[in-house]
Amino acid sequence: MAISTSIIVVTHNNLIQTIRCLTSLQRTIPDTDCEVLVVDNASTDGTRGYLGELSTTDTRFVPVLLEQNTGWCVGANRGLERAGGDYLVLLNNDTVLPEGWLEGLRTCLDEAGRNLRGSGPVGLVGPVSNAVGGMQQVAGPPNAEWETVNRHAAVWRKQQDRNWQRAWFLSGFCLMTTRAFYEDVGGLDERFSPGGFDDNDWVLRGEERGWTCVVAADIFVYHEGGATFRNARPDMNLGLANRAAFSQKWREQRTRQPKLVAAYRVKNARDTIVASLDATAAFADAIVILDDGSTDGCSDLMRNHPAVTRYEYQDLPFDERRDRNHILAMAGELDPDWIITVDSDEVFEMDRERAQTLMTLNDPHVKVLGFHWYTFWDAEHHWYRADGIFGNMAGYRMYRYQPNQRIVDGTPEGLHCGNIPQFAEGARRFTNIRVRHLGYDREVLRRAKYTFYRTVDKNPDAALVGNTTYNHLISDTVTLRRYQKRHGLSLCLITKNEGEYLEAFLNEWQAYVDEICIVDTGSTDNTLDIAAHFTNNIQHFRMDGLQLDEARNRAKGMARQPWILAMDPDEVIDRGAMMQLQRLLDDPEPHAYSFEVANHQKDDPPVHTLAVRLFRNIPELYYTRPVHETIEQALYRIPDVTVRPSGIAIQHYGFLKSDQRVQAKVDAYYEANKKYRDAHPEDALPWFNEALHLLNEGDTRAAGACFERALQLDPKFLSPYAQLAFIHQEQAMMLWQTLLEHAPDGHPIRAQAGQSMHGLMGMTPPRPVVGERRGQNQNEGEEDRR
């Protein structure tokens, strides 16, 4: 019988996990038309003997023995070359496969293309798992026993039946593809062997050829997660060491001067079309226009505009979706790298340099870009609508052109179909670029829009419109805000040996900010190499000890934009907050915004602090204090200063670094803070910071004295009150505990003690310990348990 499915499992030692994986395959794959090619990378732990025995008792399993450890990518390719099936599966040997996994992935591969409209053929699918990145990550079962995994997967599949999602990335731990995809795209790029980012690369290469990648979110496969890498190549850091090679490959493959084509669909836009085309001509290489039957004289303006490459006229019944796909095809005929859709009443505040930067971002997974709309409510274009739907209007308009793209959303009449094809969420990024929206600047225009939509849209959908009445177009109750002429954001940071975090961090921000300003204080790893791919604004500063205020001020000094965002490479702001961040920059009143920082701990819940991170780029604002540097001292010297909460959280992961690295930082900060405190004994903050260090060291009494000294210097300083309260609560719990140890059974005080301890425990958060002290506490805990 012909082989239908070939499963390639790559092994190198880890015999126990290999046995567990292959045993689960024996229980879950068909008896016929399926082969399992086990490519062994020169194992020395008995794996080869086991494979030989297995293949004699179960002919579905075929060993492919390599004479040296070539790594995952090479091993997978040798298996693909030997495979005879039309369906191909790459599988890690640290997986456990439940019943129905193979059929589920194959169903997704065969049928998801009909569910995910507007996509090319499905070429790669992957399941969800307990140990994987991105959108495939879900909660897993309590252990890896097959029965447990199988029960968990069965419940999961019933709950998530046919939940298939377009993906921007699929982890290589379990991938199903087709022979057609393999023959079109090729196998894994062996430059990434032994492994890491080969899966990212395969997905991108497939997308470039018009294939769609899908997460079969109804199929759960257990994954140990990096077990083979940890044993075979601990230096690979679970594959992340290949990030530089991956980024370099895709930088080299991108066109040096990518071509951007602007696509217009226009009808009766005489008042705005010239301003729009003039602005677009500043950043686009070509402009195509579909004129949908204009009668106001704008046709000649468009046809004769020097920047217009191609113009077509039609006079057909209304169907926006049809027209959007037509201009997509018109733009595609000009062989673009990217397309941007522009409406006739829109003016994009973008120049050619920024457009080129956006089309050559370091992260090749980013394929669609978002902008922010400012809808003017007066003919002079001084005031824009700042409330409701208009006040938060943002969307995606610029996208990488790929085969098989089409627009499918909207109403049955083709209304509200959107301006771009479908993309996975992870491929999207927002810029901070503004779009001046001119089509509502007079009452007569707003009334005309209202009448049009109420006539054409028979069943308004609130998910598409924002409401079901269109009354927001003609509301008499509006909030207007003056349009700020200057707008822009500089990202300022200081670095030292941040190679582990920096590239991922800058990938998140490169599209959004106008510029990136970096002061490096002496990196000896690849930090500077990474930074150079994102910005030329890099300054080297050799500190005398710790001079973090001076380093921050040097970064601020490089900034040219009216607002500054100060972040560290080990910090993250959720992408969903970018629209909110944009609107903070519009308010003319605040000098600065504070952010809640969640400092994640290895063993305890995050510790939350407040910090000013977004502020105006004015001379009056600058950093002070060589460690624990802030702008607060300068900020509150400004008369009538306005600082508002941003409502945005920052996730800080610096304390998750190695205990040794954290301890080195803690010690350096302590010495520098103490030196500054001795020189400035009147400043409350260094006393507070010294108290926190003493708490970490376990010296509660000395810490309490420092907190009290901070309050003597600044009675309005809130944090020392909280820390002292926690200290007293901890002491109270210890006193109640000691009382219970001495009070006899039946004594009435025991009930009160128990109630008091229960209440105090609920009010007193665990005190996190960082650095080497954390390890000491763990060892002491182990000794206590023994």
pLDDT of residue 718: 92
Let me know: does 290 contact 314? Beta carbons within 8 Å.
yes
pLDDT of residue 728: 96
Give the pLDDT mean for 626-634.
95
Strands, E, within 54-146: which ranges?
Answer: 61-66, 87-92, 95-96, 122-128
**Length reported for the chain:** 786
Instruction: Report which of 487, 531, 528 is spatially closest to residue 509, judged by C-alpha positions.
Output: 531
pTM: 0.92
Our CA dihedral for 735, 741, 742, 743, rounded to 10 degrees, sits at 90
Q: Give the end of a domain, one of 656, 680, 701.
A: 656
Q: Give the end of a domain, one of 656, 672, 702.
A: 656
Share of the chain above pLDDT 70, in %: 96
Give the pLDDT mean for 422-440.
96
* DSSP state letter for 360: T
Please list the helix, strand and coil fractions of the chain in percent, rounded to the nearest 5, in that order: 40, 20, 35
Strand pairing report for 338-343 and 394-400: antiparallel
Let me know: does 360 contact 257? Beta carbons within 8 Å.
no
Of the given ranges (24-38, 220-234, 334-348, 621-635), which has the lowest mean pLDDT?
220-234
Task: Look at residue 230 and tell me whether its pLDDT is greater than 70.
Answer: no
> Two tokens at 571?
């910090």
Strands, E, within 548-662: which ranges?
Answer: 563-566, 571-572, 592-599, 607-616, 643-652
Task: Look at residue 534 and tell me whether its pLDDT is greater than 50.
Answer: yes
Task: Look at residue 227 and tell me whether its pLDDT is greater than 50.
Answer: no
pLDDT in tens, 155-177: 999 999 999 999 999 999 999 99
Q: Are residues 416 and 541 in the same domain?
A: no
DSSP string, 199-261: HHHHHHHHHHTT-EEEEEEEEE-EE--SHHHHHH-GGGGGGGGGHHHHHHHHHHHS-SS--EE
pLDDT of residue 465: 87
Q: Are residues 35 and 114 in the same domain?
A: yes
- Coil, helix or strand at residue 61: strand
Q: Are residues 218 and 185 in the same domain?
A: yes
Task: Look at residue 204 and tell me whether its pLDDT is greater than 90.
Answer: yes
Distance from C-alpha of 175 to C-alpha of 89, rounded to nearest angstrom: 5
Enumerate the β-bridge partners of residue 400. Answer: 338
pLDDT of residue 411: 85
Residue 64, domain CATH: 3.90.550.10
pLDDT of residue 455: 92
pLDDT of residue 777: 64
Task: Look at residue 256 and tell me whether its pLDDT is greater than 90.
Answer: no
pLDDT in tens, 583-628: 999 999 999 999 999 999 998 899 999 999 999 999 999 999 999 9
Q: Is the dihedral of CA 83, 87, 93, 97 positive or negative?
A: negative
Enumerate the β-bridge partners of residue 264. Answer: 289, 342
pLDDT band for position 778 (50/70/90)? Answer: low
Task: Look at residue 747 and tell me whether its pLDDT is greater than 80.
Answer: yes
Q: Are residues 650 and 699 in the same domain?
A: no
Residue 667, domain CATH: 1.25.40.10
If one counts the domains in the chain, the total is: 4
Q: Are residues 459 and 539 in the same domain?
A: no
Strand pairing report for 538-540 and 394-400: unpaired
Task: Look at residue 449 and tell me whether its pLDDT is greater than 80.
Answer: yes
Instruction: Report which of 583, 586, 589 is spatially closest to residue 484, judged by C-alpha positions.
Output: 586
Q: Are residues 338 and 475 in the same domain?
A: yes
Let me know: does 188 contact 78? Beta carbons within 8 Å.
no
Distance from C-alpha of 580 to C-alpha of 560, rounded to nearest angstrom: 22
Instruction: Report which of 374, 440, 427 is spatially closest to residue 398, judged by C-alpha positions.
Output: 427
Q: Are residues 329 and 306 in the same domain?
A: yes
Q: Are residues 564 and 625 in the same domain?
A: yes
Q: State residue 592 phi and psi, 5-degree precision.
A: -160, 165
pLDDT band for position 368 (50/70/90)? Answer: very high
> Two tokens at 138?
């879900």
pLDDT in tens, 265-296: 999 999 999 999 999 999 999 999 999 999 99
pLDDT of residue 117: 82
Instruction: Report which of 235, 238, 173 is spatially closest to residue 199, judged by C-alpha positions.
Output: 173
Let me know: does 672 contact 546? Beta carbons within 8 Å.
yes
* DSSP state letter for 474: S
Task: Look at residue 532 and tell me whether its pLDDT is greater than 60.
Answer: yes
Distance from C-alpha of 99 to C-alpha of 157, rounded to nearest angstrom: 11
Strands, E, within 485-635: which ranges?
Answer: 489-495, 515-520, 538-540, 563-566, 571-572, 592-599, 607-616
Share of the chain above pLDDT 90, in %: 89
Angle, vertex CA 689, rays to CA 683 and CA 695, nearest 5: 140
Q: Give the end of a domain, one of 418, 448, 482.
A: 482
Instruction: Report which of 386, 410, 348, 412 is spatially closest to residue 472, judged by C-alpha positions.
Output: 386
Cis-peptide into 562, omega within 30 deg: no
Q: How far is CA 191 from the centre of its chain?
A: 26
Strand pairing report for 260-266 and 338-343: parallel
Q: Are residues 532 and 663 in the same domain?
A: no
Our CA dihedral for 294, 298, 302, 304, rounded to 10 degrees, sits at 120
Let me know: does 495 contact 520? Beta carbons within 8 Å.
yes
Q: Where are the alpha helices (DSSP H) in 510-568?
A: 527-532, 548-558
Q: Are residues 510 and 447 in the same domain?
A: no
Give the pLDDT mean for 560-577.
97
Task: Look at residue 239 and tell me whether its pLDDT is greater than 90.
Answer: no
Distance from C-alpha of 430 to C-alpha of 489, rounded to nearest angstrom: 13
pLDDT of residue 38: 98
pLDDT in tens, 651-671: 999 999 999 999 999 999 999
> Two tokens at 259?
């071509």
How many other CB atoms sit within 10 Å of the CB of residue 289? 26
Q: Are residues 310 and 376 in the same domain?
A: yes
pLDDT in tens, 39-63: 999 999 999 999 999 999 999 999 9
pLDDT of residue 458: 86
pLDDT of residue 464: 83
Average pLDDT across the chain, whole number: 94
Domain boundaries, position 547: 490-656
Cis-peptide into 412, omega within 30 deg: no
pLDDT in tens, 378-400: 999 999 999 999 999 999 999 99
Give the pLDDT mean for 470-483.
94
Instruction: Report which of 190, 247, 218, 255 is spatially closest to residue 126, judged by C-alpha positions.
Output: 218
Q: Are residues 240 and 279 in the same domain?
A: no
How many other CB atoms sit within 10 Å of the CB of residue 766? 11
Distance from C-alpha of 86 to C-alpha of 477, rounded to nearest angstrom: 62
Let me know: does 523 contact 575? Beta carbons within 8 Å.
no
> Two tokens at 116?
């995910």
